[in-house]
Amino acid sequence: MRKKNGLRVILLVASIGSILIGIYREEVLTVLVKAINICLECVGIG
Amino acid sequence: MARFKRKLTQVLTAIVTNGYLPGFLKGDIYRGNLKRFCVPGLNCYSCPGALGSCPIGSLQAVIGSAKYQISFYVLGAIALIGTLLGRFVCGWLCPFGLIQEFIHKIPSKKFKISSKNPVKYSKYLILLVFVIILPMFVVNILGMGDPFFCKYICPAGTLEAGIPLVIMNPSLRQAIGFIFSWKVFLLLLTITASIFIARPFCRFICPLGAIYGLFNPISLYKLEVNSDVCIKCNKCTNTCPISIETYKTPNSPECIRCGECIGACPTKAISSSFGLKESEGLDVKEMEMK
């Protein structure tokens, strides 16, 4: 149980760290640009 | 009551995450800053009402961009949600899961497929090939890859974005071709399968469910079985839409956390909890191993 909890804490810290790295690398801008334009591939045209 | 609570949560989540009404009226999409954030479920960001971004679409967008090979941001967001909730997202927060459940209510003969059926692994293959490998390596001269899952497979995109936008935009209507027809075919296949089988897309296709499923055994939201009161009557398995032997594997990667087993258990041996604390007693599997 302690092992499992340790893994949970590591995953929580790592995922938050990963989000912060992504924000620092400006990946959010790529997500935003894709999301605010009609995705022709999603629609089935692109 | 628990069933109603889940349905209400599903409906409210679908409404809140797709609450941009002008989109439905004008045949356009929301273009604001909220789209920086990923919603927990599979919800196409080109749905006229979508206020957030689809995690799988975003993951492909970053992987397929010329600038990045991997997305720390999206993978981090998926891992965070996965660690907190696992596939609770599938059962409670995903609009496309809700749609499949509504379709499954159409009266017909229902087919149960065992949770051990190896077809369940197809979603991992789809995740690997269509979401990661193809967008990463099949690129154009600018180094950009297509979102292959969205483009060739995702029926949620066709239903939530493709059909409404094509209906409301004459210019888009003129541009449709084979891929649109192919995607409509896949959507019809998914709808037909959903009538007879519970959640076929979630079980065999969804790459987001595949990732969240990997977190089920360790997520903070979990199911617990009290071995002292479990009589192994199998009622949980028979009630489960995915046919999981809950009393043996309460945190199976296939479990969508719908909670049907909790209500069905005649001895109240199954419970759910959230947090780092776990019950002190052994679960049934551990007891059998001893």
* Inter-residue contact B116 to B249 (CB < 8 Å): no
Q: Where are the domains of chain A?
A: 2-43
Mean local confidence (pLDDT), B110-122 = 93
Categorize the per-residue pLDDT at B229 as very low, low, confident or very high, splitting at 50, 70 and 90: very high
Question: For B150, which of A20, A36, A42 is closest by C-beta distance?
Answer: A42
Q: Is residue B282 pLDDT above 70, yes or no? A: no
Q: What's the CATH class of domain B222-289?
A: alpha beta
CB atoms within 10 A of CB B228: 10
Q: Rounded to an integer, what distance in angstroms lies between the CA atom of residue B144 and that of residue B73? A: 19
Tell me what pLDDT residue B290 has.
Answer: 44
Query: Does A3 contact B at CB distance below 8 Å?
Result: no
In tens, the pLDDT along A1-46 reads: 778 899 999 999 999 999 999 999 999 999 999 999 998 888 888 7
Q: Is residue B212 pLDDT above 50, yes or no? A: yes
A28 contacts in chain B (CB < 8 Å)? 36, 73
Q: Rounded to an integer, what distance in angstroms lies between the CA atom of residue B110 and that of residue B21? A: 36
Q: Rounded to an integer, what distance in angstroms lies between the CA atom of residue B211 and that of residue B77? A: 12
Q: Rounded to an integer, what distance in angstroms lies between the CA atom of residue B51 and that of residue B49? A: 6
Q: Is residue B63 pLDDT above 70, yes or no? A: yes
- Test B80 with A15 for CB contact under 8 angstroms: yes
Question: For A31, which of B61, B79, B83 is closest by C-beta distance?
Answer: B61
Tell me what pLDDT residue B148 has.
Answer: 97
Tell me what pLDDT residue B179 has.
Answer: 94
Q: Where are the domains of chain B?
A: 2-213, 222-289
What stretch of H or E contains B223?
strand B221-225
Length of chain A: 46
B134 contacts in chain A (CB < 8 Å)? none
CB atoms within 10 A of CB B192: 12
Q: Is residue B195 pLDDT above 60, yes or no? A: yes
- In chain A, which among 5-34 make CB contacts under 8 A with chain B? 5, 7-9, 11-12, 14-23, 25, 27-28, 30-32, 34
Categorize the per-residue pLDDT at B45 as very low, low, confident or very high, splitting at 50, 70 and 90: very high
Asked which of B67-81, B99-113, B126-140, B276-290 is least confident by mean pLDDT, the reply is B276-290
Q: Is residue B289 pLDDT above 50, yes or no? A: no
Q: Is residue B279 pLDDT above 70, yes or no? A: no
Asked which of A19-28, A36-45, B103-112, B157-166 is least confident by mean pLDDT, the reply is A36-45
Q: Is residue B70 pLDDT above 90, yes or no? A: yes
Q: Is residue B281 pLDDT above 90, yes or no? A: no
**Two tokens at B111?**
């087919």
B62 contacts in chain A (CB < 8 Å)? 27, 30-31
A21 contacts in chain B (CB < 8 Å)? 72-73, 76
CB atoms within 10 A of CB B164: 18
Count contacts between A and B (CB, < 8 Å).
Answer: 157
Tell me what pLDDT residue B280 has.
Answer: 53
Select from A33, A34, A37 the residue whose CB has the most chain B CBs within 10 Å, as the one to mutate to test that interface: A34
What stretch of H or E contains B174?
helix B170-175
Distance from CA of A44 to the nearest CA of B (A): 4
> Dihedral, CA atoms, B205, B211, A30, B139, nearest 10 degrees?
-60
* Inter-residue contact B262 to B282 (CB < 8 Å): no
